[in-house]
Chains A and B, each alone.
Chain A
Amino acid sequence: MAIPNFLYKNNRVLLKELTKTDFKLRYQGSILGYLWALLRPLMMFAILYLVFGQLLKFGNDIPHYPVYLLIGTTIWSFFSECTSQGIQAIVNRGELLRKVCFPKYIVVVSATLTAVINLLINFIVIIIFALIDGITPTWTWLIVPIVLFELYMLSLGISFLLGAINVKYRDITSIWDVLMQALFYAIPIIYPISMIAETNTTAAKVLLLNPIAQVIQDARYCMATTKTDTSWNYLSESELIFKFIPICIVIIMLVWGSWYFRKKSKKFAEEI
């Protein structure tokens, strides 16, 4: 495309301005403001901890269960916020797309970046929790950003793909809501995977092939307790090839999503 020949740098400026606006307006008019970015996941954690940790005793055989649970709920909140904002982004910014020409992916990325900022804030809280709970920091903590990046790539891929379809078929938003409910229970966030393995080992293994589960379990393994069953160490040596399934899903989603989004983005202005 010859014109508007916006430099890469100017796209970055636009991304920054849109993200700043999103973040600034998110908690507009609330007394606690940005604090809600912290309070919401913490409250979700408190409820889950009370019900499943204290009353149902899910985490009895897991050391540092509160931190273990908090890592799970925080990462889940991030994925949920990231995709729901990302999928809606193009439709929400429809007015803009009809009036100015700029790379459409910027809208999706800026919508998800607010979730990234919230995730970073929440991880500071997790670190504080971990230190209070008596966990000593190790070098494995440094792996956590890598797996979180992997999850962000998955979220972007999903947002690109479903966001593009959502322009024409708004059912996507509702379908995704339901799917997220199901996913929440299909991922060992509140329960340890060993509870599933007691009745059906194959089911437990299949559940761990989900990249979201892989990311959560890896983060827990690195930060909370090495007793976590990760996708990598839960599958046996003979199943080596399956260990690569989660990362393959992420790569496929990202490539497929970006390709589809690129293909459809020319027509967004007309179809919204």
Chain B
Amino acid sequence: MTNQPNTTDINTPHNNEPIVISVKNVHKSFKLPTERAWGLKQAILNRFKGIKGYKELKVLNGISFDIHRNEFIGIVGRNGSGKSTLLKTLAKIYFPEKGSVEINGTLIPFIELGVGFNPDLSGRENIYLNGALLGFSNKEMDAMYDKIVDFAELRPFMDQKLKNYSSGMQVRLAFSIAIRAKGDVLLLDEVLAVGDAAFQKKCSDYFASIKGQQTVILVTHNMDNVIKYCDRAILIENGRIKLNGNPKEVAEAYNNLWNEQK
């Protein structure tokens, strides 16, 4: 493969497993409006003035990697490096201009917790709505429902409206849906460290327990978590893969990003 020099050889226990995600040379750029044509008038005026109205920003610049089944992958990088865009491309929310993303199996994306949560619906209704958004049928949700509620420890509140939950409880509910959702690949963007100490301990135990049994892609800034959970980590800088390999080395390289600048 061209232009992927920084892949350290790493023997994760999953190298022999089939590939579930294959990302090949993905390019993505956004048209950033310089003078936003919010209306017809501005659009027409801009055309007359010869203003293109946008400048192009390359966010992903040829990203390629494979993920094997049951691998726990960490994706790190500083703000604006292209992590979230990459994740949204994996989740098929964005479409790459060049390159391809192939996924074998179902991917459950959590770009944000509690997507579609509605404060005027009860906890129960929100679970089913959220499940439907992730592509689960009511029957599948029925099967998951008890586990979700138990994990969130919110059973007495399920018929209350979400707006009467504390913010911690809301996040706990959302997080429980995220980790109890049964899919082949779980995509988590910055969603660790929610709830109080006891709940965090529970999440940490849970992550340790699914390691090696579920494909997880985790985007985080917490290097401790990367070292603790990940089989492999990928460092992204300026839309390119800077390092793809051992979590410890990647964590080190990540911390060195700031030293380099100084």
A and B interact physically = yes
Bits for B100-144, please: 1 = Cβ < 8 Å to A, else 0.
001111110101100110101100010011001111111000000
From known contacts A3-B106, A17-B129, infer whether A100 and B93 are also in contact, taking CB-CB under 8 Å: yes
Q: Specify which chain A residues have a CB less than 8 angstroms from the CB of B48 in the assembled complex.
A: none
The answer to whether A14 and B132 have CB atoms under 8 Å apart is yes
Of B43, B106, B111, B137, the residue contacting A5 (CB under 8 A) is: B106
Interface size, chain B (Cβ < 8 Å): 37
Of B92, B93, B107, B121, the residue contacting A99 (CB under 8 A) is: B93
Q: Specify which chain A residues have a CB less than 8 angstroms from the CB of B206 in the assembled complex.
A: none
Query: Cβ of A236 < 8 Å from any Cβ of B?
Result: no
A101 to B128, CA, bound (A): 17
Q: Specify which chain A residues have a CB less than 8 angstroms from the CB of B105 in the assembled complex.
A: 3
A5 to B129, CA, bound (A): 19
Name the residue of chain A whose CB is nearest to the CB of B185.
Answer: A3
Query: Cβ of A269 < 8 Å from any Cβ of B?
Result: yes
The answer to whether A101 and B102 have CB atoms under 8 Å apart is no
A227 to B37, CA, bound (A): 51
Q: Specify which chain A residues have a CB less than 8 angstroms from the CB of B92 in the assembled complex.
A: 1, 3-4, 101
Minimum distance in angstroms from A46 CB to a CB of chain B: 31
Q: Specify which chain B residues have a CB less than 8 angstroms from the CB of A102 in the assembled complex.
A: 133, 135
Q: Is the interface of B mostly helix, strand, loop or mixed?
A: loop
The answer to whether B94 and A96 have CB atoms under 8 Å apart is no
Of A2, A4, A100, A169, the residue contacting B111 (CB under 8 A) is: A100
Bits for A10-24, please: 1 = Cβ < 8 Å to B, else 0.
100110111001001
Query: Cβ of B91 < 8 Å from any Cβ of A?
Result: yes
Query: Cβ of B65 < 8 Å from any Cβ of A?
Result: no
Q: Is the interface of A mostly helix, strand, loop or mixed?
A: helix
A270 to B29, CA, bound (A): 11
The answer to whether B39 and A25 have CB atoms under 8 Å apart is no
The answer to whether B116 and A96 have CB atoms under 8 Å apart is yes
A28 to B120, CA, bound (A): 8
Query: Cβ of B40 < 8 Å from any Cβ of A?
Result: yes
Q: Specify which chain B residues have a CB less than 8 angstroms from the CB of A16 in the assembled complex.
A: 132
The answer to whether B116 and A10 have CB atoms under 8 Å apart is no
A17 to B132, CA, bound (A): 7
Minimum distance in angstroms from B221 CB to a CB of chain A: 20
The answer to whether B137 and A2 have CB atoms under 8 Å apart is no
The answer to whether A4 and B93 have CB atoms under 8 Å apart is no
Q: Specify which chain B residues have a CB less than 8 angstroms from the CB of A14 in the assembled complex.
A: 132-133, 135
Of A9, A17, A25, A97, the residue contacting B128 (CB under 8 A) is: A17
Query: Cβ of A266 < 8 Å from any Cβ of B?
Result: yes
A1 to B91, CA, bound (A): 12
Interface size of A as a range:
20 to 34
The answer to whether A96 and B133 have CB atoms under 8 Å apart is yes
Bits for A73-102, please: 1 = Cβ < 8 Å to B, else 0.
000000000000000000000011111111
The answer to whether A100 and B109 have CB atoms under 8 Å apart is yes
From known contacts A2-B103, A270-B94, infer whether A24 and B137 are also in contact, taking CB-CB under 8 Å: no
Query: Cβ of B38 < 8 Å from any Cβ of A?
Result: yes
From known contacts A28-B120, A169-B39, infer whether A2 and B102 are also in contact, taking CB-CB under 8 Å: yes
Query: Cβ of A171 < 8 Å from any Cβ of B?
Result: yes
Q: Specify which chain B residues have a CB less than 8 angstroms from the CB of A270 in the assembled complex.
A: 30, 94
The answer to whether A25 and B118 have CB atoms under 8 Å apart is yes
The answer to whether A171 and B95 have CB atoms under 8 Å apart is no
* Most B Cβ at <10 Å: residue of A3, A25, A168: A3
Q: Specify which chain A residues have a CB less than 8 angstroms from the CB of B94 in the assembled complex.
A: 269-270
A95 to B128, CA, bound (A): 18
From known contacts A4-B92, A17-B128, A21-B121, infer whether A99 and B39 are also in contact, taking CB-CB under 8 Å: no
Name the residue of chain B whose CB is nearest to the CB of A28.
Answer: B120
From known contacts A25-B118, A269-B93, A270-B30, infer whether A6 and B39 are also in contact, taking CB-CB under 8 Å: no
A-B contact pairs, 8 of them (CB 8 A): A2-B102, A3-B104, A14-B133, A16-B132, A21-B121, A25-B121, A102-B133, A270-B30
Q: Lowest 9 A-B CB distances belong to which pairs?
A: A17-B132, A6-B135, A3-B103, A99-B115, A14-B132, A101-B92, A99-B111, A269-B93, A171-B39
Other than the given A1-B92, A2-B104, A98-B111, 12 more pairs (CB < 8 A) read: A3-B106, A3-B107, A13-B132, A13-B138, A14-B132, A14-B133, A25-B118, A96-B116, A99-B116, A100-B115, A101-B91, A101-B93
Chain A residues in contact with chain B, CB under 8 A? 1-6, 9-10, 13-14, 16-18, 21, 24-25, 28, 95-102, 168-171, 266, 269-270
